[in-house]
Amino acid sequence: MTETTDTEAAAPSLMALACRLRGQVETFAPPLAQIALRLALAVPFYRSGLTKWDGFLQLSDSAVFLFEEEFKLHLFGALVPYPAPTLMAFLSGCAEIALPILLILGLGTRFAALGLLGMTAIIQITIPDGWANFHLPWAAMALALVAWGGGPVSLDRLILRSGLLRALCGRR
């Protein structure tokens, strides 16, 4: 019969603790990451959207000015003015409010993230110098949400679990 030392006895319990900790991380980290992605992508767009409005559906003069005078599309080395700048300002302002709200709720997460990914692409060709600090992280977050959805803590998941989506789409 061999005697075990304190170190040998502690090794299995330390391993068991590490395994339990790993299991907890694998359970809770993905939903927390998806919530963090939704919030991190929503906040800058929502804040930008707030600056475009003077009241309910009253576009600010500064938003129109930016799309008419300041913002230009950088296409193939040429600076091209935005077509229909007032309409573009209005659509941008609407999307920058509605899509982040959908993201935060986790409702239509993939649709909202895809919309913000499209906006990021347009912003990139408008302000090409912002790719490393802003546009690349926004695009990466949006792509992750398009690929994996809003996660278990989202209205998307609640709708899916309720069977409403299956009823609407005629699926079993």
> Quick one: pLDDT band at residue 113, thresholds 50, 70, 90?
very high
What dihedral do alpha carbons 98, 102, 103, 107 form, nearest 10°? -160
At 48 the pLDDT is: 96
Mean pLDDT of the residues in the chain: 90
Question: pTM here?
Answer: 0.82
- Closest by CA to 143, choosing from 37, 67, 51, is 37
Q: What is the mean pLDDT of residues 49-55?
A: 95
Question: What is the total residue count of the chain?
Answer: 172
